[in-house]
A and B are shown apart, each in its own frame.
Chain A
Amino acid sequence: METLHKNKIPIEVHDMTVAYHKKPVLWDVDLILPEGELIGIIGPNGAGKSTLIKAILGLIPKASGWVKIYGDTFERMRTLVGYVPQKESVDWDFPVNVLDVVLMGLYGRLGWIRRPGKRDVGLALESLKRVGMEEYASRQISQLSGGQQQRVFLARALVQDAQIYLMDEPFAGVDAATETAIIDLLNELKSRNRTVLVVHHDLETINEYFDHLIMLNMRVIACGPVKEVFHRENLQRTYGGKLTILTEAAEKIGREGGVISN
C-alpha cells in the first residue's frame, strides 16, 4: 500500500491540554497514530472523547500543546480531514434536504460565496449512493430515521474524499443494518489507506471493528494495537474510577449486614 505523504503520520498530538471553563478536560495528551487503520477511542462518560476530536479539528481552543496532520498544521491540511459529528449535535427539524446537507461537505473547497455546481451535485449523489441513500436526495431531513441521519452525515464527510476521517459516535442509536453498512464503509476506506478515528461506546465490538485503540479517561491510559492494549488491566484503569466507588459502596453495604430485605 503506497503512503500518500512524505510524512507518514496522519495525526500527531503533543502534550495537549484542553479546558472547559478553566476546568481541565484533557490532560497532557500525546498521540502518534498509524496511517490506514481503523482507530477506536473509548472511555467512560466525560472522559473527553468528543473533546479530543474537536480539539484536533480546532473547534475548541487548547490550553497547551499542538496537533499535526501529516507533519503540518491542521489549518493548512484542513481539506484532508473529514468530520462526522454526533447526530444529536444538530436540530433535524431545520428546513433543508439531504442533498444540500451532503453538499455542505464541499463548502471548504468552494470557499466564500460560490454555490455548488453540477459537478458538485454529481459528487454528492455519488456519495449518497455509497451510503445507500441516493433515493433520499430531495427528502426533508426531518423525515429521516436515526440510521438514515447518520448515513447522511457520513455522506457529507465522504464527499470531501479526505485522507483522514474523524467520527464522533457514528454507531450510537443506529439500527443493525446501518451499523453493518457503516463498518463495511469503514473497511472500504481502510482498503484505500484512509485513516479513520472513531469515538465508540460498545466494548463488545472493539476487537471486531478496530485495529488500533486509544483508551481515554481525561488522559491517555493506553494507545496501541487492539490486541496489545485492550485487556482487563487497562480497562480497569480506564473505567476504574466508577468501578472503585461502586466496589466501595458494595463493601460498605456488605459490612453493614447486607441489603435490607430479610
Chain B
Amino acid sequence: MDEVLRFLSLADANVRFVLAGSILLGSASGVVGVFTLLRRRSLLGDALAHAALPGVALGFMLTLSKSIVPLLIGASAAGILGVLAITAMVKTGRIREDAAIGITLSVFFGIGIVLLTFIQRLPSGNQSGLDKFLFGQAAAMLPQDVQLMSIVSVVTLITITLLYKEFRLLVFDANYLAAQGFPVTLLDILLMFLVVLVVMIGLQAVGVVLMAALLITPAAGARFWSDDLKIMLLLAALFGAVSGVLGVFFSSLAPRIPTGPVMVLAATLLFALSAVFAPRRGLLARRMRQIQTGRRTAQEHLLRASLEWMELNPGAVRIPLDALAGPLGVPLSAVERTAAALSKKGDIHFTNRNAQLTAAGKDKALAILKSHRLWEYYLLHRMALKQDHVHRDADQIEHILSPDVIERLEKLLQEDGVDVENITSVHPVAG
C-alpha cells in the first residue's frame, strides 16, 4: 500500500522519468501503429522487433559496454536486415509475405537467443542485463536511456503531425499522392523509418517478444470508436499512453515483473473494452441494434397480419391473437408480448387475448401492407420470380423500403394498371 502511494505521489524522480518516457513511447507507438494497421503491415513491426535480438547481442559482444547506443545500433541494423531479407524473399523466391515474415522472424530470433545464452556464459555476461530485452524492464532504464526514448517519441509524434495529410493519402491512395507530385517512395521509407525508430526505442521497456503488440493493439482498439482518422490517432495515443503508465506502475510495485507483458495486457484490456462497449461498432451496440430491429420487425408483422385477418373477416374489428399466431409463425406468448409493446405505443388496444387497431396503428399497418404487396408484385411480375418465393422476400424487404423507392414502385405498378391504393395480394392470404 505504501508503495502504491509512493508511486502515485510521484516523489521518486526516477519513477517520474520512466513514467514520462513510457507515456511518450506509448503515444508514439499507438500513433505509428495506426498507420501500419491501416496499411496491413502490422506484422512487419513484429518482424522488426524479433529480428532485432541478435543485433542487440552482437552490439554488446562487440563493445562489451553497458551503454545503450551500440545495442540500439545493433538492434536497428539487425531489424532492417530482417525486413530486407523478407522483401528479398518475396521478390525473388516463390515465398509469400506471411511465410517470409514467419521464417525471418523465427530464424533471427533463434540466432538471438543462442547468442544471448552464449553471452550469459561469459565472465561479464551476467551483468549484461540483455535478457531484459526479451520482455522489457522499464525500471531498469537509466535516465539517459529514458531521455533518448522520450526525444525519439516526440520527434515521431511531431513528424506524423506535420506530415499528417501526406501519410494519410499515402496509405489511402499512393498513386494519387504520386500524381499530385509527392515522392511516394521517400514517404514510404520515412514511415517505415518511424516504425523502426519506435520499435527500437521500445525494446528496452517492452521487449523484443511483445513490442509488436504495443504497436497493433492500441490502434486496433481505437478503430472501434471512430471513422475519423484524427480521432483514431488520438485514441490510439491515449490507449498506448495508458498502457505505458500501467506497465510502469505494476512494475514498480513488484520489480521482478517485466514491464512488457503488463503494458501489453493493459493495451489488450482497453482493446477488449473497446470491442464490447464502443458505440455503434462495439459488440454490445450491435447486439442492441439487432434486438431493436427484431422487435420493430415483429411489431410491423403483427400490424400487417391484423390487417390481413380483417380482410378475410370483413366487418370484424376485434382480432383474436391466437388467430395471428399461425400466420406469424410464432408462439402465442410472443404474439402477446409484441401486442403489449404495440399497445404501449398506442397502435393497438390490447385486452384479454384480443387486439384492435387504433387509427394510428391502422395507418402504420396499411403502409406496411402496401410495401409488402408492392414488393411482391414487383418480384412476381417485373422480375419473374415464382409466386411461392415472393412472400418471404417481401416479409423482409417491407421494413426497409424508403419512401422514394416506394414512390418509384408505385409509378411502375401504375403503368401496369394496378390500383396502388387498394393493392391486393398476389397469393392467397394465410388465414
Contacts and interface: CB of A to CB of B under 8 A. Distances in A.
Interface centre among B165, B226, B229 (most CB of A within 10 A): B165
Interface string A82-115: 0101000111001111000100110110101101
Nearest to B164: A115
B227 A108 contact: no
Given A112-B166, A140-B227, A94 B175 contact: no
A190 interface: no
A111 to B, nearest CB: 9
Contacts of B227: 95, 97, 140, 142
A54 to B, nearest CB: 7
A182 to B, nearest CB: 19
A176 interface: no
A107 B176 CA distance: 10
A228 to B, nearest CB: 32
A121 interface: no
Interface in A225-261: none
A95 B164 CA distance: 14
Contacts of B179: 57-59, 78, 81, 83, 108
B175 A89 contact: yes
Contacts of A107: 165-166, 169, 177, 180, 182
Contact of A94 (B162, B172, B177, B178): B172
B180 A95 contact: no
A81 B181 CA distance: 11
A190 to B, nearest CB: 22
A54 B228 contact: no
B181 A108 contact: yes
Contacts of B169: 104, 107
A101 B165 CA distance: 11
A59 B178 contact: yes
Range for the number of chain A residues in contact with chain B:
20 to 34
Interface in B263-312: none
Interface in A43-81: 54, 57-59, 75, 78, 81
Given A95-B229, A140-B227, A115 B172 contact: no
A85 B169 CA distance: 14
Nearest to A138: B228
A96 B172 contact: yes
Given A95-B227, A96-B168, A107-B169, A59 B182 contact: no
B175 A54 contact: yes
B234 interface: no
Contacts of A96: 168, 172, 229
B424 to A, nearest CB: 31
Interface residues of B, number: 25
A60 B228 CA distance: 32
B83 interface: no
Interface string A114-140: 011000000000000000000000001
Nearest to B163: A113
Contacts of A116: 165
Contacts of A75: 181
Contacts of B182: 107-108
B171 A94 contact: yes
Interface string B225-257: 011110010000000000000000000000000
Contacts of A115: 164-165
Contact of A95 (B162, B166, B232): B232
A66 B166 CA distance: 28
Contacts of B228: 95, 97
> Quick one: which of B163, B172, B229 has the most chain A CB within 10 A?
B172
B58 to A, nearest CB: 36
A120 B182 CA distance: 19
A164 B169 CA distance: 22
B407 interface: no
Interface in B178-233: 178-182, 223, 226-229, 232
A96 B178 CA distance: 19
Nearest to B233: A95
B173 interface: yes
B4 to A, nearest CB: 38
Contacts of A58: 178-179
Contact of B226 (A89, A95, A101, A110): A95
A85 B176 contact: yes
B176 A83 contact: yes
* Interface hub of A81, A89, A96, A115 (most chain B Cβ within 10 A): A96
A230 to B, nearest CB: 29
Interface string B68-105: 00000000000000000000000000000000000000
A107 B177 CA distance: 8
Given A95-B232, A112-B166, A85 B175 contact: yes
Contacts of B172: 90-91, 94, 96, 101, 104
B10 interface: no
Nearest to B228: A95
Interface centre among B162, B181, B228 (most CB of A within 10 A): B181
Nearest to B180: A108
A59 B175 contact: yes
Contacts of A89: 173, 175
Contacts of A81: 179
B38 interface: yes
Given A85-B175, A89-B173, A90-B172, 19 more contacts: A54-B175, A57-B178, A58-B179, A59-B178, A75-B181, A78-B181, A85-B173, A94-B38, A95-B226, A95-B229, A97-B228, A101-B172, A107-B169, A107-B182, A108-B181, A110-B165, A112-B163, A115-B165, A116-B165
Interface of A: 54, 57-59, 75, 78, 81, 83, 85, 89-91, 94-97, 101, 104-105, 107-108, 110, 112-113, 115-116, 140, 142, 156
14 contacts: A58-B179, A94-B38, A94-B172, A95-B228, A95-B232, A96-B168, A97-B227, A101-B172, A107-B165, A107-B166, A107-B169, A108-B179, A142-B227, A156-B176
